[in-house]
Amino acid sequence: MIVKTMMSKFARTAAVVLGLSLFALAQADQPAASPAGAAPPDAPSATPANAAGNLTIKATGTKVGTINIEQAIFASNEGQRDFQALGKKFEPKQGELKSQSDEIESLQKQLSAQQDKLNDEARDKLVKQLESKKKAFDRAQQDAQEDFQGQQGEIGNRILTKMAPLIVKYAADHDFGVILDTSQQWPRSPVLWNGPAVDITQPIVDAYNTQSGVPAPAGGAAPKKPTAPGTTGATGTKPPATKPAATTTTPNK
């Protein structure tokens, strides 16, 4: 089972948080167009000023910039620290799923090697045992992935909420009028192509690290995206077992 990436989740959250932040900037210092106490039509339910960190900067820039929100979250010192801790938290579950996967693979090999020698009753018993273990593995894998992704999303959204005001301030300070998220590639992203000169990902990471005060992880290794338990690419875990071998064999003489 291929685990869903965090890109879409972070991209949706980024659009909401940054959208509210930029709305606050656009409205800052502008005279009220509605009578006192009357809310404008279709106003966001959340308070834009709060989402923007109560900034009162007027958006007057004209440049277009880009940021990879997902990369900024993972590359921040806080992100590396918290995602690494999450990975360690799920290591026991990873081990359980690996054991289940290995057991299924062993039964598959046994069935493949012996199915021509087994009678119908023995073969059916082995097939049912294999199917039962595969169903149990699939349920455990799905539960672990959903739990992991939920906690992963909470970490990412928490960091993004604190990072959004920095993005808005950086954009205003450097004459940017639009910041586009490049976490996803075109055509899912509106950005067809962009050069490094307009990308503000690293400056935002640096600013966030300064603000958070979280030290860089020891070792200086490049940040890696955590992988959900039981998925391809997770350390020490094999892909989900393949479909059981066909049960139609030549009858025993």
- Packing angle of the helix pair 201-212, 120-173 (nearest 10 deg): 90
How would residue 214 be classed by pLDDT, with cut points 50, 70 and 90? very high
Structural domain contains residue 235: no
Model pLDDT, residue 232: 53
Give me 210's structure tokens. 């300064």
Residue 77 dihedral angles phi and psi, to the nearest 5°: -60, -40
Contacting residues for 217 by C-beta, under 8 A, at least 6 apart: 77, 80, 81, 84, 223
Question: Mean pLDDT across the chain, nearest whole number?
Answer: 76
Structural domain contains residue 223: no
Structural domain contains residue 239: no
Contacting residues for 185 by C-beta, under 8 A, at least 6 apart: none
Q: What is the pLDDT of residues 141-174, one digit of tens each?
A: 999 999 999 999 999 999 999 999 999 999 999 9
The answer to whether 121 touches 140, Cβ cutoff 8 Å, is no
Model pLDDT, residue 183: 93
Q: Which residues of the chain form beta strands (DSSP E)?
A: 63-67, 176-181
Give me 71's structure tokens. 């990369």
Helix (H, G, I), strand (E, B) or coil at 222: coil
Give me 35's structure tokens. 């009578």
Structural domain contains residue 226: no
Range of the domain at 78: 7-29+43-190+201-208
Q: What is the pLDDT of residues 14-52, one digit of tens each?
A: 454 454 444 444 444 444 444 444 433 333 333 333 444
Global pTM reads 0.68
Q: What is the pLDDT of residues 92-104, one digit of tens each?
A: 999 999 999 999 9
Give me 1's structure tokens. 């089972």
Q: What is the pLDDT of residues 172-213, one digit of tens each?
A: 999 999 999 999 988 888 888 888 999 999 999 999 999 999
Structural domain contains residue 86: yes
Structural domain contains residue 213: no
Structural domain contains residue 158: yes
Give me 110's structure tokens. 């046994």
Structural domain contains residue 236: no
Number of structural domains (the chain) is: 1
